[in-house]
Structure 1
């Protein structure tokens, strides 16, 4: 997130209207809901974790024990349970 000076990007009328509510403070303006990307979509993390979880569920269905999966994937037993029992 970068810092942008309001007087450089906002029309004067809008800036004056905003100053009725806040002056001399920083304000965060979020992206529109339609412009947001879901978590991990840009970095590829979402795809990585989805694939890993799929492998864990498949191994569990084939008989792998939860504690063995936890060791193999360096995750807690509770995390493995959340992955394999997720509906």
Structure 2
């Protein structure tokens, strides 16, 4: 984690106010909730898993068994069940 000196980025009045609560300590200021991305959003990992899960669901609907899908996708039968029985798209 990279640290930034508060004197370089915050107004003096704000630093004085913060010093009423914390002095000489490392202070973490979290991102706003809207600034967080869900897992895999920026890397594309989420999209890849969504496509895989859609393919698994479609194969299940077309008649493939849970066991066949587990072997084909190298996943446990419990994981396949979670995918095919989930209510999400």
Equivalences, count: 87
Residues in 1 aligned to 2:25 and 2:68: alpha-carbon distance in whole angstroms = 53
In structure 2, runs of 5+ residues without a counterpart are none
Aligned ranges 1:62-81 → 2 under 5 Å: 62-81=62-81
Q: What per-residue deviation string (whole Å, max 9, x for no partner) do you get for residues 32-81 of structure 1?
A: 23333232211111111110100010111111111221222122221111
2:37 alignment partner in structure 1: 37
Deviating 4+ runs (over 4 angstroms): none
Aligned ranges 1:19-30 → 2 under 5 Å: 19-30=19-30
Give me the TM-score of the superposition, normalised by structure 1: 0.84
> Which range moves more in the overlay, 5-14 or 16-25?
16-25
